Chain A
Amino acid sequence: MLKLLTSLKTTLYLIGISILVFLAGSLYIPKNLEIFSEINDFPLFQWLYNNRDYPAKTYWIYAEILLMAFLSVNMVVCTIEALLEKLSRRTLIQRLSPHILHAGVLLVLFGHLVSGTVGFKKDITMYMGETTEVDDLVVSLKQIELVYIKGENQQRWRASVSVDDKGELFHAVIEPAKPFFVSGLGLFAKSADENGRLVLGVVHDPGVKWEIAGALLFLVGAAGIFLSKYSKL
């Protein structure tokens, strides 16, 4: 059993089957938009529960989750086995870097699991001067400014908001690709118009910090591989 788990052939089979399953998914999604149109609006497991009556069209997601779980076990076992071997100082970076990179992939997969299990996403429409409660926060929309920036194909919106987090007051300006984060919640200005209307996206995704940790580990591993394999160009 251990031999099977540490085998590189097992890795290849798992990656190969994963490719085929992703391929199936890429064909199912565009052809079944009546089911898949809301998949990005909910955490994955909640969406799967909501669509539990369509196993013939969603089976590939279950298969992919299983495959990723097997691949994770395969990565963990291979990494442990490799780390148990003697490491010399001379080849330390060369030997360790791929394992750091794999640890990064594992954390990214774990982040996906967390994102798919807990958290929420919702859109709230607000008007200038309005105050609304979002979870434990009180959000007030003070002002919306529409500006034109050269090179952009539409007006950019700047929404000035104040956020009361249990007595602590924050002021922020939210713009496209410039959200505001407070108490684990992300506030995104999704759209705004000249009538003072703002669509505020509210996101709570605890998987993101795992994703960031995984990405950082991956980058460290990648840098190590570059250093050890390409130092003599």
Chain B
Amino acid sequence: MTPLFVILVFASLYAVSIMGDRKGTLCYLGALLLHLGYIIFRSVRLEQVPVTNTHDILIMMSFLAALSFLYLYFRKKVENLMNVLPFLPFTLSILAVFYERMDTISPNMNSIWFYLYMILFIAGFSLMGIGSVLGLMYLKKQHSEVEGLQYRFTLAGWLLFSCSLIAGSVWFYLAHGVYWLWTAKELWTTIVWFYYSFYLHARLLNSLKGQFAAEFGAAGFLVMLFSYLGVTPILGSPWTQF
């Protein structure tokens, strides 16, 4: 079985699980196991946590999103979750297919701060992504509990994302002597941070809480995705393997 085939299998299982019944749940659990197997395979191959290139990062984000949904499904018992929930791990897994698997890193990346940066970034990105999907669910069903969950997931994701920026700045300073660069990529990272800051503050206003906040938070996933995957090829920022 080639790695590409394995990814396509678990992504398809995530897609199939959208049907939502008992079979759907089993497909979801199957996908999760296969997904975990793929991550273990990559870890063994790289002999480290697979977070050093875009392919592996998307796979990890997708896995964390899938795991968090499991928590929502069993612990929070959110209605109709299975009909929407696999959308995020499916999308991220399919996106990973388009990125080359890289088995080496530059000497500069071989730092505990880099790994900390990446792990926090992946966790933050996944949680904010789940927040966006929950926002979409709220817009469809208008359950205030779902909107509350969207806020909690987004806030947790934003805090982890902020911590990742701190770790990333420390790493970049140790590697290059600067903690901030004026490039389109860094500006978009800042845009994402401000975008979610806007959402978190807007939700404190009664006039914006609910529909507007949910829409704004849900759209954040697109801003985040563009910031991570779109800025370099579209705006022409310097390429990095992560």
Chain A interface (Cβ < 8 Å from any Cβ of B)? 8-9, 11-12, 15-16, 18-19, 22-23, 25-27, 29-30, 36, 39-40, 44, 112, 115, 121, 149-157, 175-179, 186, 188, 190, 201, 203, 205, 208, 211, 215, 218-219, 222, 225-226, 229-230, 233
Contacts and interface: CB of A to CB of B under 8 A. Distances in A.
Given A30-B184, A219-B163, A230-B156, 16 more contacts: A12-B201, A12-B205, A22-B187, A26-B184, A44-B182, A115-B179, A115-B180, A149-B107, A152-B105, A154-B106, A157-B107, A176-B108, A177-B174, A179-B174, A201-B177, A222-B162
B interface SS class: helix
20 contacts: A8-B204, A15-B194, A15-B198, A15-B201, A26-B188, A29-B183, A121-B177, A149-B110, A151-B46, A153-B104, A153-B105, A154-B107, A176-B106, A177-B113, A188-B175, A203-B178, A208-B179, A222-B163, A226-B156, A229-B155
Contacts of B179: 115, 208, 211
Contacts of A115: 179-180
A230 B204 CA distance: 18
B139 to A, nearest CB: 21
Contacts of A178: 111, 174
Contacts of A27: 184, 235
A222 B106 contact: no
B201 A11 contact: yes
Interface string B103-124: 1111111110110000000000
A176 B177 CA distance: 11
Given A151-B48, A177-B175, A215 B110 contact: no
B166 interface: yes
A interface SS class: helix
Interface-centre pick from A22, A150, A222 (highest chain B CB count, 10 A):
A22
A19 B175 contact: no
A167 B191 CA distance: 48
Contact of B176 (A23, A188, A233): A188
Contact of A230 (B75, B105, B152): B152
Interface string B155-194: 1100100110010011101111111111110011011001
A225 B111 CA distance: 28
The 10 closest A-B pairs by CB, nearest first: A153-B104, A203-B177, A30-B236, A176-B107, A26-B187, A26-B184, A156-B107, A177-B111, A177-B175, A215-B166
Contact of B152 (A26, A112, A229): A229
Nearest to B227: A26
B198 A16 contact: yes
Contact of B104 (A152, A155, A177, A225): A152
